[in-house]
Amino acid sequence: MNKFDKIDELKEIERKFKVNVTLMGFIGEIIPKNIVQGYIFSIPTLSTRVRRMDDKAFLTIKGGADLLSRDEFEYEIPVAEANEMLELFCKKILIKKRYVLVQDELCWEIDVFEGKLEGLILAEIELPAVDTSFSLPDWIGEEVTEDPQYLNANLIERC
């Protein structure tokens, strides 16, 4: 079954945390993905993002006021078109390295931001349901899921 078989699976359910960098000794063992992204359109409840991740690119539409569970539609697009959209339509660009770590069958994505956001490190865990329980690694700090200033669509304004 793929994510388009059921409308419930078009929901992105994730929790977001600050990271205690001093406890992240393992990160040097993970090969990061290089991400460049920009927003074609963004208001608090709706955004359209272009993202280049290494040798792939995606167009993503996210919507909803609930920061824990939002609607998400993501489509792979040609890298050349993503580059053109980033140049033509995105005033600001966000750059980060993403490290992926699987723990207890759940996937942590650790984003290390670059440029004007250098020093910011956030970890997200995508969940199959809002009430999914999981254990927090010792390198996880304060939860910022409900704080809109930590949405990428808002972070990019600081770039």
Q: What is the pLDDT of residues 57-90, one digit of tens each?
A: 999 999 999 999 999 999 999 999 999 999 999 9
> How, if at all, do strands 69-77 and 11-19 pair?
antiparallel
Report CA torsion sign: 20, 22, 23, 25: positive
Q: What's the Rg (C-alpha) of the chain? A: 15
- Tokens encoding 109: 């994505």
The DSSP 8-state label assigned to residue 134 in this structure reads -
CA–CA distance, 18 with 67 (Å, rounded to integer): 16
Q: What is the pLDDT of residues 92-146, one digit of tens each?
A: 999 999 999 999 999 999 999 999 999 999 999 999 999 999 999 999 999 999 9
pTM for the whole structure: 0.90
Q: Which residues are catalytic?
A: 39
Which domains are present in the chain? 10-158 (2.40.320.10)
